[in-house]
């Protein structure tokens, strides 16, 4: 009996002692308040310091954003400009360009607009020259301009693939050649907005995926030979973003149905990222000279799985393609401003965030609706 009671009593005593110690160590809720306040103050100070550092690094810098007249490009121009950089933006549409420049100037940003078609090599090179001349140099070039055609492969022509390549591969190629010397001098940054579509080709975006894959190689190839040049090369790989882009895209086959699935995917919060957040991340990555930035968890996951099991992602894309609208007996083609008219209520509700972004980011308006706006952030 004694053999068991002594160790049992010792163990019970040890347990009681350790319980008392644990209770004493456990802080009372009131004691946590100063720590929480200190943590919050430290967090706010760190972010204020980071903001000041960004402003210090960007104030007075010269930034060219191609396709900065609407969507992500316009949001990027605002972000760079908000830290004191002077920005040049370009696009094909004169009215949209003027609205974008006026909106930037209204925010106190020194902005210059250049009307151009980047698919023309001479115009692509001239954009760089004009931007450098008007801004007094060139510190950052962001290759952002892009075009989007959505529809089954059977409705895409060779000209569609050539157009996509001209804007998203050859345009950045000529911009890179024209800007490299200036960026070497300024020890600047060359940033390219590619796409997850350049890593794993989604269905109904054939020309886009071809051009984006070439654009990824363009950016990675430049980075591979940039060591010692002083130029920092950043490859940005966004997943879906809420830039309001469906309105400026072209839809073929069954345009309304194509618009519907694309607008829903690009508008869902879990699948897509707000243009505000994307722009903030891209500007910070540029300033820090990061080589690679993958936006959205879905894009990160897609790239990881594709790297490990490309056959699996290819099969998943084929399944997604099978679920998308087929080619109708009489295929049509329409701009997003028309294809997005008269959508069913559920599609309108699911794409509402993206539509709102379109209104704030100078995207083309639908026939009969108010002109695009320039203010506000996405909630």
Options 176, 193, 213, 214; binder of ligand NAP; rule CB under 6 A: 193
- The site map against ligand NAP for 76-115 (x = CB under 6 A) is --------------xxxx--x-------------------
Options 85, 191, 218, 241; binder of ligand NAP; rule CB under 6 A: 241
- Residues in CB range of 214: below 8 A, 6 or more apart: 165, 168, 169, 198
SS3 content of the chain, % helix, strand, coil (to 5): 60, 15, 30
Does residue 130 touch ligand NAP according to CB under 6 A?
Answer: no
Q: Which residues are catalytic?
A: 208
- Residues in CB range of 303: below 8 A, 6 or more apart: 196, 199, 200, 237, 294
Shortest Å, Cβ 145 to ligand NAP: 4
Mapped onto helix, strand or coil, the DSSP state of residue 330 is coil
Tell me if 231 sits within 8 A of 190, measured CB to CB.
yes
Residue list 151-190, contact with ligand NAP (CB under 6 A): 167
DSSP label of 333 = E
Does residue 283 touch ligand NAP according to CB under 6 A?
Answer: no
Tell me if 131 sits within 8 A of 88, measured CB to CB.
yes
Nearer Cβ to ligand NAP (14/364): 364
Nearer Cβ to ligand NAP (111/145): 145
Nearer Cβ to ligand NAP (8/63): 63
Does residue 147 touch ligand NAP according to CB under 6 A?
Answer: yes
Q: Give the position of tokens 């698919």.
A: 119
Q: Which stretch binds ligand NAP (CB under 6 A): 33-41, 50-58, 241-249, 251-259?
A: 241-249
DSSP lists the bridge partners of residue 272 as 240
DSSP lists the bridge partners of residue 342 as none
DSSP lists the bridge partners of residue 87 as 63, 111
Does residue 372 touch ligand NAP according to CB under 6 A?
Answer: no
Nearer Cβ to ligand NAP (92/280): 92
CA dist 237 → 55, 191, 231, 255, 296 (Å): 25, 11, 19, 27, 9
DSSP lists the bridge partners of residue 233 as 190
Does residue 235 touch ligand NAP according to CB under 6 A?
Answer: no
Options 81, 207, 238, 260; binder of ligand NAP; rule CB under 6 A: 238
- For 44, counting Cβ atoms within 10 Å of its Cβ (0-12 exposed, 13-18 middle, 19+ buried), the class is exposed
Q: Which stretch binds ligand NAP (CB under 6 A): 29-37, 42-50, 145-153, 255-263?
A: 145-153
DSSP label of 28 = P
Q: How many CA atoms lie within 13 A of 197 on its CB side?
A: 24
Does residue 202 touch ligand NAP according to CB under 6 A?
Answer: no
Q: Which stretch binds ligand NAP (CB under 6 A): 78-86, 143-151, 181-189, 337-345?
A: 143-151
Nearer Cβ to ligand NAP (93/332): 93
Nearer Cβ to ligand NAP (52/177): 177
Does residue 267 touch ligand NAP according to CB under 6 A?
Answer: no
**Contact residues: ligand NAP, CB under 6 A:** 67, 69-73, 90-93, 96, 116-119, 144-148, 167, 193, 195, 238, 240-241, 243, 245, 248, 266
């Amino acid at each position: 009996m004694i053999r068991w009671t002594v160790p049992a009593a010792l163990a019970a005593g040890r347990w009681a002692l350790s319980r008392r110690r644990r209770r004493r160590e456990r802080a009372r809720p009131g004691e946590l308040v100063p720590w929480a306040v200190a943590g919050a103050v430290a967090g706010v100070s760190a972010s204020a310091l980071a903001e000041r550092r960004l402003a210090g690094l960007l104030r007075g810098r010269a930034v060219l954003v191609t396709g900065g007249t609407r969507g992500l490009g316009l949001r990027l121009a605002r972000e760079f400009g908000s830290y004191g950089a002077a920005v040049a933006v370009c696009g094909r549409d004169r009215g949209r360009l003027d609205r974008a420049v006026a909106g930037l100037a209204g925010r106190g940003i020194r902005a210059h607009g250049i009307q151009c078609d980047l698919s023309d090599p001479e115009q692509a090179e001239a954009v760089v020259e004009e931007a450098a001349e008007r801004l007094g140099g060139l510190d950052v070039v962001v290759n952002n301009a892009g075009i989007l055609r959505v529809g089954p492969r059977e409705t895409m022509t060779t000209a569609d693939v050539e157009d996509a390549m001209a804007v998203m591969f050859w345009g950045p190629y000529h911009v890179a050649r024209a800007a490299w010397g200036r960026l070497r001098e300024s020890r600047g940054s060359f940033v390219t907005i590619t796409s997850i579509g350049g890593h794993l080709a989604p269905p109904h975006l054939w020309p886009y995926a071809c051009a984006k894959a070439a654009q990824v190689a363009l950016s990675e190839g430049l980075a591979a030979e940039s060591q010692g040049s002083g130029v920092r090369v950043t490859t940005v790989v966004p997943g879906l973003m809420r830039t309001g882009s469906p309105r400026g895209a072209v839809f073929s086959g069954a345009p309304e149905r194509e618009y519907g699935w694309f607008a829903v995917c690009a508008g869902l919060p879990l699948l897509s990222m707000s243009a505000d957040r994307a722009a903030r991340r891209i500007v910070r990555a540029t300033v820090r000279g990061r080589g690679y930035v993958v936006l959205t968890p879905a894009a990160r996951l897609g790239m990881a799985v594709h790297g490990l099991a490309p056959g699996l992602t290819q099969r998943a894309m084929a399944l997604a393609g099978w679920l998308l609208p087929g080619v109708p007996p009489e295929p049509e083609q329409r701009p997003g401003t028309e294809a997005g008219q008269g959508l069913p209520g559920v599609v309108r509700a699911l794409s509402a965030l993206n539509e709102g972004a379109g209104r704030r980011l100078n995207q083309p308006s639908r026939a009969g609706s108010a002109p695009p706006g320039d203010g506000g952030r996405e909630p």
